[in-house]
Structure 1
Amino acid sequence: MPNRSESNVATADALTLLLHNQHALAAAIEEVTKWLSNNGAGVVAENAVGAMETIDRNANAITDAIMRLRQA
Structure 2
Amino acid sequence: MHSPEYSLPDVLERIYENQLALEAAIMELSMWTANHGGPHVDENVRGALETIGENAGHIKQGLARLKQNPSV
TM-score computed with the length of structure 2 as normaliser: 0.85
Question: 5 Å matches for 1:26-65?
Answer: 26-65=23-62
Matched, 1:14 2:11: yes
Deviation per CA, 1:17-69, whole angstroms, max 9, x where unpaired?
A: 00110011001100000010001100100110011111111111110110000
With a CA cutoff of 8 Å and minimum separation of 6, indicate the structure with the bigger relative contact order: 1
Which amino acid is 2:9 matched to? A
Q: Per residue, is there more helix in 1 or in 2?
A: 1
Paired residue for 2:22?
Answer: 25
Q: Which runs of 4+ in 1 moved over 2 A?
A: none
5+ long unaligned stretches in structure 1: none
Which amino acid is 1:66 matched to? L
TM-score computed with the length of structure 1 as normaliser: 0.85
Which amino acid is 1:34 matched to? M
